Amino acid sequence: MSALARRAAAILWKDILSETRTRQGFTAMLSFAALVLFMFSFAIGVDNDLLGRLAGGLLWVAIVFTGTLSLGRTFQNEELAGGTRLLRLYPGDVRAIYLGKLAGNLVVLAALEVVLFPAAAILYGVDFAAQAGPLLLVAALGTFGFSVIGTFFSALTVHLRARELLLPLLLFPALVPVVLASVGATEAFLAGDPLGRATGWLRLLASYDVILFVVCVWIFPVVLEE
């Protein structure tokens, strides 16, 4: 294992231990996500056909709203304790900080989605299991893109006083391609993908993920020094 990978793994392990000790943040996220899903179901009413057609979009909106709460805490704990400066002083490539934080966000969002997908299936009457493989691919690509850009903007706004407001303002416009492609692919697979539309959405999502990852890793050292 390279020095970069070891340092990233150490940061990931630190964040996992910190999260498992308190569990308050993740519990609050789950409660908020469940509330969002229920509110959508309550607002639409008993129209099961409409719920089924909108299930993909409603699910990803819940993931984005809830995940943003988690992303906002990515560097906040270190900043409050003065740990961001210590992370910068640690010898080695500072990109390991980004990779470790990115991996931590991926773990949290994946754990969140393990709960959200079954909950959405029950509330909206959708059979996700019938398209489990394709939907797993969509979830992986969508979550990766969300985490890549979210981790980057979390580092960019961590020193700002209005970071709770600025993070969504910066994040949501950049997430438009990720959300559109994820929703489009999810809805196409749930409909049986009769026209092969999911392939185009997946290509867009994968391409955007790669571009985001390369750009964010490349310029992260500059962001961290600000």
* DSSP for 53-104, written as a single string: HHHHHHHHHHHHHHHHHHHTTTTHHHHHTTHHHHHHHSSS-THHHHHHHHHH
Q: Is pLDDT of 207 > 90? A: yes
| Residue whose tokens read 């809805």 | 187
Q: Is pLDDT of 210 > 60? A: yes
What's the whole-model pTM score? 0.89
Q: Which two tokens stand for residue 206?
A: 């994968």
Q: 75 by DSSP, 3-state: which?
A: coil
Average pLDDT, integer, range 198-216: 94
Q: What's the pLDDT at 80?
A: 59
Lowest mean pLDDT among 38-47, 82-91, 114-123: 82-91
Q: Where are the domains of the chain?
A: 3-225
Question: What radius of gyration, in Å, describes the C-alpha atoms of the chain?
Answer: 18
